[in-house]
Amino acid sequence: MKSRYRVVIIGGGVVGASIAYHLTKLGWTDIALLERSVLTAGSSWHAAGGIHTLNADPNISALQAYTIDLLPEIEKESGINIGLHMTGGILMARDPDRWDWLKGSYRVMQSMGIDDSALVTPAQIKELCPLVNTDDLLGGMTSAREGYVDPSGVVHAYARAAKNRGADIIEHNRVLALKRLPSLEWQVETEKGTILAEHVVNAGGLWAKQLGRMVGVELPVTPMEHHYLVTEAIPEVAALPAEMPTIVDLDGFSYMRQEQKGMLLGVYEINHKHWQMDGAPWDYGMDLIQEDPDRISDELAMAFHRYPVLERAGIKRWVNGAFTFSPDGNPLVGPVRGMRNYWVACGVMAGFLQGGGVGKSLAEWMVHGQAEADIFGMDIARYGEFAANREFIRQTTGQFYSRRFIMTYPNEHLPAGRPLKTPGAYDGMTAAGAKWAGGWGLELPLYFAPDGFEEKPSLRRSNAFDIVNAEARAVRDRAGILDITGFSRYEVTGPGAEAWLNQLLACRLPKPGRAKLAPMLGHDGRLKGDLTVLNWGDGYWLMGSYYLREWHMRWFEDHMDAGVTLRDLSDQVTGFAIAGPKSREILQKLTHQDVSALPLLGCTQMDLGLLRTRVARMSITGELGYEINCSALEHATLRRMLLEAGKDLGLVEFGFASGNALRLEKSFGIWNREFTQGYAPSQTGLDRFIDWEKQGFIGEAAARAARLAPSAQVLVTLEVFAKDADCSGYEPIWADGGLIGYVTSGGYGPCVGKSLAIAMVDRAHAAEGTVLSTHIIGEECRAVVIAASPYDPQGRAMRA
């Protein structure tokens, strides 16, 4: 062990070993991997080792596919047998909605380029695995890239390959303390001495919580118990001509694979159980937790129904081990805000499935400044401080675990960790019928319904369809107000504010009293934000999405200049948007100022009744509209004032569900759908907001280079000839039987009377009038490229 390394990785499980391997592969070889016990001690050694490609986040699915393809290479490079069994796999469904979901998932897999899956009938499932009881099944989805590995072999293979490339693998050396030095290096105190490191990676698994607390970081992870059993030899298994495929019984909450001549059966039980919520004891390692068959008896009964041979099989061993989970079940990866060169890679509950992708992405991030793939779904910055609350962690991780194999409908909003943060007018909006969704700890209104209404979860148009459409039409015909607490607001002041913003943003900065749409780029020229910048005259605001606050603040602070004061106002300043042809008339009732004097994309201070507000003329609906900003304590007052002023003009309240329909009718993109860090501005149309005459903004060189080479794909608007369901995202787009793109978002346009979608397609198929097709819940639908902004394409309403 040396006294100084470029990188110290803490944790000798599959994730830590994968990070070490990928860093060395990218040329960083001055690395130490520290393990408190021996490699695999923790969760890795007792994992079932299953691998498959399906994930609710298509970007993570792609990284899982990368991991699977990498495993044979690791085996060859290291010379260690990883016990790779590519048996293929089957996901099975007996519930009609679940079967519809599988048919849709099959198409999503195709849209992500994963083309080794197929839908199969119960008879075909029986042919693939005769031991399955298929009497009550509707069908399934097979995948060729599915199977299992020897967990110990995989970890040692990653570690051996990293060591061969120059990394040091140091076992039996627990980290005792971490300290940040004035030199900005990390002092890593271990049982074998002190190490200085430029970078530290927390890949501590069951001990990630304690490692975070060493530097004052409270990570939203916790261990939970997980059972599986291994049977003794079963004659029917031994008699099979080939190894069984791995099988997931989605409606039975279980997974199964062959283990020698027996079976391995694991369950995600509804009656979940947390274990050592503050992290495993330091002396825990190659240990298991006492099994509790009674707690999983219902799931075992369903498994015995599905695999009747289990009724006659003896149990050779139980495994009840601990795995760490995050609130949404996805890993926590990336740099921690405010902790320069402190990286995390934890909460990877599916380590052998995701370990390769996590290692690749984090290594790219460390070496190149950004991962190749868009991994926001794994980014630690998708959570804020609110998620470190113990009760929030308990509720959300428990909900995820128990619903691991339970389908969540697109219009279903789960209760764990809610309500947490509520708008000032929450009680008033609730009394008015608001139905809520949670976003980054905040309650967001979806729509306003009559007393007693409950939306039924559905993959198709739900019973809220008419309510949402009526709200949207009321906005177009008269006016509506929308709670905009869910917008982020950052104040930028100081003598260096203008110079800093010119570097941060790719647009030309607005003059006092004006606002602009503001693309923000990464160093690679790809998007980092679709913000709005407002110049109030006494300082600037940046506005964006509330759920991106931690992500954006990390970026801002990482690129901060002297002479700049930055404040996140998002919990102190809130407001309402008012939109529709009557909106100006309503506002004028509340102020002595001339509302008509405010131009499109103008902003000013405005007295509304007793309130001193900041008002900007802009609209997410494509109508004449204004965004009114007030303090959080004034939110309820502002709502009452607006409703009173607009009651004789037909003013309604509307939510983000109808807001989504309205923005689709205008072909307005949103972040994480049309705009992501995986896209270049030229793909999305945001390049038209870049000021190509200015120099020195982040990502300039890469953006200019991309401008000279037209992107292979572009966004288009589609009319989809759907029946009782609409696109929601990631559905494939076909031309003459070939895959040429995928849907970024979709829904019904109530004011144009069409099912609409925005899609990223090959440029050769982007011309207006091009006939394409897509699949919605597995059913093929005709689609046609139409002109952008099917409602009011000239923008006359917004400019009125």
Q: What is the pLDDT of residues 252-266, one digit of tens each?
A: 999 999 999 999 999
Residues 108-133 pLDDT 10s? 989 988 888 999 999 999 999 999 99
Burial letters for 163-201: b for 16+ Cβ neighbours within 10 Å, e otherwise?
bebebbbbeebbbeebebeeeebbebebeeeebebbbbb
pLDDT of residue 189 exceeding 80, the answer is yes
Q: pTM (2 decimals)? A: 0.96
| CA R_g for the chain | 27
In 3-state terms, the chain is what percent helix, strand and coil (to 5)?
Answer: 30, 30, 40
The interaxial angle of helices 465-477 and 656-665, nearest 10 deg, is 60
Q: Residue 61: its pLDDT value, please? A: 83
pLDDT band at 58 (very low <50, low <70, confident <90, very high): confident
Q: Hey, what CATH topology would domain 712-791 get?
A: Elongation Factor Tu (Ef-tu); domain 3 (2.40.30)
pLDDT at position 59 over 90 = no
Mean pLDDT computed over 413-429: 98
Using one digit for the tens of pLDDT, what is the confidence trace for 146-161? 999 999 999 999 999 9
Domain boundaries, the chain: 4-331, 712-791
Residues 172-184: tens digit of each pLDDT = 999 999 999 999 9
Q: Residues 61-69: what's their mean pLDDT?
A: 89
- Averaged pLDDT score across all residues of the chain: 96
The pLDDT of 374-386, averaged and rounded, is 96
Q: Are 501 and 561 in contact (CB under 8 A)?
A: no
Strands (DSSP E) contained in 649-727 are 651-653, 713-720
Q: For residues 163 and 157, what is the distance between their CA atoms, to the nearest angstrom?
A: 10
With pLDDT > 90 as the criterion, what percentage of the chain qualifies? Answer: 96
pLDDT of residue 364: 98
Per-residue confidence band for 663, with pLDDT thresholds at 50, 70 and 90: very high
Q: Are 27 and 168 in contact (CB under 8 A)?
A: no
Residue 503 pLDDT class (50, 70, 90 cuts): very high
Give the pLDDT score at 712. 95
pLDDT of res. 54: 76
For the residues 212-228, what does the mean pLDDT come to? 97
For residue 764, is pLDDT > 90?
yes
Compare 449 and 63 and report the one with higher pLDDT.
Answer: 449
Q: What's the pLDDT at 53?
A: 80
Q: What is the pLDDT of residue 780?
A: 97
- The pLDDT-based confidence of 470 (bands split at 50, 70, 90) is very high
Angle between helix 14-25 and 151-164 (nearest 10): 30
pLDDT of residue 80: 98
Instruction: Using CB atoms within 10 Å of the CB of residue 385, give its burial: 0 to 12 exposed, 13 to 18 middle, 19+ buried.
Output: exposed
> Before 220, cis peptide (omega within 30)?
no
CATH classification code of 4-331:
3.30.9.10
Rounded mean pLDDT of 358-373? 96
CA–CA distance, 242 with 248 (Å, rounded to integer): 18
C-alpha 170/C-alpha 739 separation (Å) is 48
C-alpha span between 49 and 748 (Å, rounded): 42
pLDDT by residue (tens digit) across 681-731? 999 999 999 999 999 999 999 999 999 988 999 999 999 999 999 999 999
Tell me the C-alpha distance between 186 and 203, whole Å.
Answer: 16
Q: Identify the pLDDT of residue 63.
A: 86
Average pLDDT (190-194) is 97
Summarize the confidence of residues 554-578 as an average pLDDT.
97
Tell which wins on pLDDT, 336 or 108: 336
Instruction: Give the lowest-confidence range in 33-42, 46-55, 186-195, 592-601.
Output: 46-55
Average pLDDT over residues 636-662: 98
Q: How many angstroms separate the Cα of 304 from the Cα of each of 125, 250, 300, 480, 658? A: 17, 14, 6, 55, 46
